[in-house]
Amino acid sequence: MTQQIVVIGAGVIGMTIALELQRRGHAVLVLDKEGVAAQTSAGNAGAFAFSEVEPLATPGIMKKAPKWLLDPLGPLSIPPAYALQIAPWMYRFWRASQPGRYAELLAAQASLMKVSSAALERLIPAVDGEAMMQRDGQMQLYESEAEYRASLPAWEVRRQHGIDFELLESPQAIAEKQPGLSPRFTHAGFTPNWLNTVDPKKWVERLAQTFQSRQGRIERRDIQALVPQQSGMRLETAEGPVDAAKVVVAAGAWSHHIARTLGDRFPLETERGYNTTLPEGAFDLRMHLSFSRHGFVASRINNGVRIGGAVELGGLNLAPNFKRADTLLHKAEEFLPGLKTEGGTQWMGFRPSMPDSIPVIGVSPNASCVFYAFGHGHLGLTQSAGTAELVGAMVDRQAPPISPAPFAAGRF
């Protein structure tokens, strides 16, 4: 075995990277303040959304933002207490939505999706995980002819990138695939190759169990700083120092705080997402449903239903506003007549997001033995296996499967 590599973060990105490095013959130690799948990886929608190749920063999106922001419980909100702090990030987001930059980001996102899809199909049997997958597809729903027509350019982008889909143009066609929806939904797009995990937390726990069964170690430690040494890196933690030959920072929404101790600064923000998980029997959900205009989804988790999504740009420290989860649940009750809303569990998570909508995957500009893998936004679960293969290649100084240039840590 080679010298020890420390992976900071035991969420889906960190654990998938740890497994890949272990597969490559490295001795790996995973450190996390809270433990395995304790944050965003615990409560997301469980979707491997490989068809979502468009970055969030699309041309014209900023024209829609004022309308969204007027509704504090709408699909996008910024708490007044955080508005000034988020302004520089929003400016970068606007810059990324310009047509030329958008085209570059679309190409980068699509390439990472393709690698990630293939990598996941290799990972599933490697961890005996097929029973944890739901290969039922996904339906994106529209409430009018106009809304549907406005979505067609995005479907054309998917077609250009080889994504299989079927467009449905009547409530009857929709009901054949998913009974029980409100007839207000007149059109839809169905992606048959979309898949979900039965439970994102259990999926990460499966990765961790496999990693540990192969002599991998996971410890709970509070990382305070990275300190360069003559050879490698010292991690200062509240529980004492840890030395490593190489370090991978995959700590999600907290990654930029760790990077700053090396002098690396990133415009990382948190899209706070809310959901409610309803128990088994809440609704006969046949597939993942996306309510496009309203910014939320319904997914099947452990045979129950998880209703969640939306974006609140509110950082790490503001108190949760669970009225947002209530609003989504009330809408879902209207959209899915017969949905049983009793007995639900609410949750909020921090999606780590870069203003150009693609993650940071690359070497630290200030330390060649430190590798970054964070900022995946809504797509951490989706892009985890592809990110792991890129990081593995970088650590071993091999050519990665796609160009790493768009994801470089120094691009900001």
Say which CATH number the domain at 254 has. Answer: 3.50.50.60
pLDDT above 80 (res 74): no
What is the dihedral sign for C-alpha 167, 291, 152, 150?
Answer: positive
d(CA 297, CA 281): 18
Please write the tens of the pLDDT for every residue from 380-408: 999 999 999 999 999 999 999 999 999 99
Q: Is the pLDDT of residue 301 over 80?
A: yes
Kindly tell me if the per-residue pLDDT of 70 is higher than 60: no
Name which of 49-63, 148-162, 223-237, 365-379 the model is least confident about.
49-63
Q: What gap in Å lies between CA 113 and CA 180, rounded to an integer?
A: 32
What residue type is 91 in one-letter code? Answer: Y
- Are 209 and 167 in contact by the 8 Å Cβ rule? The answer is no
Residue 13 forms part of a structural domain: yes
72 in a domain, yes or no?
A: no
> Which residue type occupies 78?
I
Report CA 295 to chain centroid distance, whole Å: 15
* Per-residue model confidence (pLDDT) at position 2: 44
Report whether pLDDT(64) > 80.
no
Is 15 part of a structural domain of the chain? yes
Q: What is the average pLDDT across 93-97?
A: 91
Residue 335 lies in a domain: no
248: tokens are 């991978």
Mean of the pLDDT values across residues 325-330? 94
Question: In the chain, count of helices (H) and strands (E)?
Answer: 11, 21
Q: What is the pLDDT of residues 348-378, one digit of tens each?
A: 999 999 999 999 999 999 999 999 999 999 9
CB contact set of 213 (below 8 Å; sequence gap of 6+): none
Q: Could you tell me if 22 and 265 are in contact, meaning their C-beta atoms sit under 8 angstroms apart?
A: no
Amino acid at 193: N
What pLDDT does 59 receive?
A: 86
Per-residue pLDDT, 79: 84
Give the domain range for residue 36. 5-43+201-267+357-411
Cα→Cα distances 211→14, 126, 395, Å? 11, 11, 18
Q: Residue 111: inside a domain, yes or no?
A: no
Query: Is pLDDT at 77 greater than 90 in this prediction?
Result: no
**Does residue 99 lie in a domain region?**
no
Contact call for residues 36 and 272 (beta carbons, < 8 A) = no
220 pLDDT above the threshold of 80:
yes
Q: How far apart are CA 248 and CA 21, in angstroms?
A: 10
Task: Quote the pLDDT of residue 81.
Answer: 85
With tokens 């570059």, the residue in question is: 104
Burial class (CB in 10 A: 0-12, 13-18, 19+), 180: middle
Q: Residue 71 above 90 pLDDT?
A: no
Residue 122 lies in a domain: no
**pLDDT above 70: residue 72:** no
Q: 294 and 320 in contact (C-beta within 8 Å)?
A: no
Q: Which residues of 289-308 are buried (b: 16+ CB within 10 A; e: fewer)?
A: bbbbebbbbbbbbeebbbbb
- Burial class of residue 86, CB neighbours in 10 A (0-12, 13-18, 19+): middle
Average pLDDT of the chain, as a whole number: 94
The answer to whether residue 210 sits within a structural domain is yes
Residue in 36, 45, 43, 47 with CA at minimum distance from that of residue 13? 36
pLDDT digits (tens, 9 = 90+) for 242-300: 999 999 999 999 999 999 999 999 999 999 999 999 999 999 999 999 998 898 999 99
36: nearest Cα among 224, 208, 211, 238: 208
Alpha-carbon dihedral angle through residues 282, 285, 290, 296, given to the nearest 10 degrees: 10
- The stretch 343-347 carries a mean pLDDT of 97
Residues 332-352, mean pLDDT to the nearest whole number:
96
Number of compact structural domains in the chain = 1
Please check the confidence at residue 219 and state whether its pLDDT lies above 70: yes
